[in-house]
Amino acid sequence: MSDRLMPIWCAAADLREVELDQIGEIFRDVLHHLPMPNVELARQIGVSQPAVSRWATGKNHASLEHMCEAIRAINAQLAATQERLYRAEALICMASEAMTLHQQNGTGDAERLADLRAELREALAALPATTDESEESETAEDVAA
């Protein structure tokens, strides 16, 4: 084994250097493909942004606790992103089908087109407001007050 300093958790788990390197490489790879800025991950797990950067570059080792917290935060962000992608896909495909039916100039299924328009409007109305819309709404309320 080399003279390289090994994290305490590695010794406690009786891991060999090659196993430590594998875990570190997996974690660094995850950090290089974050669905959020390093500063946001750092905030969520209660560490500094430079600490996350040092983990990503391999200059320091994260504790297993921090690795678990980071992976959980990343998974939560990915799940939220995946949900937004599913909604976007459904809405865009509905809109595409409606556009296709509309462009058929009367040769398409008018009833299906009406149904698609209604479904699309209902789905759009059910969406949460975007950040920009929320800020505009709050500003309008502030002005009215």
pLDDT tens, residue order, the chain (145 aa): 344 555 555 555 666 777 777 888 899 999 988 888 999 999 999 999 999 999 999 888 888 889 989 999 999 999 999 998 998 999 999 888 888 888 886 666 888 888 888 998 898 888 877 655 444 444 444 444 3
95 found inside a domain: yes
Residue 24 lies in a domain: yes
Domain count, the chain: 1
pTM: 0.62
> Could you tell me the residue range of the domain that residue 58 belongs to?
8-129
12/85 Cα distance (integer angstroms): 41
In a domain, 37, yes or no: yes
Contacts of 41 (CB under 8 A, 6+ apart): 31, 34, 52, 70, 73, 74
Q: Please indicate, yes or no, if residue 2 is contained in any of the structural domains.
A: no
CA distance 88 to 51: 35
- The span from the CA of 21 to the CA of 15, in Å, is 10
Asked whether residue 140 is assigned to any structural domain, the reply reads no
Residue 3 lies in a domain: no
Give the helix ranges, DSSP H, for 13-130. 17-32, 38-45, 49-57, 64-103, 110-126
Q: Where do we find the tokens 């917290």?
A: 69
- 135 in any annotated domain: no
For residue 104, being part of any structural domain is answered with: yes
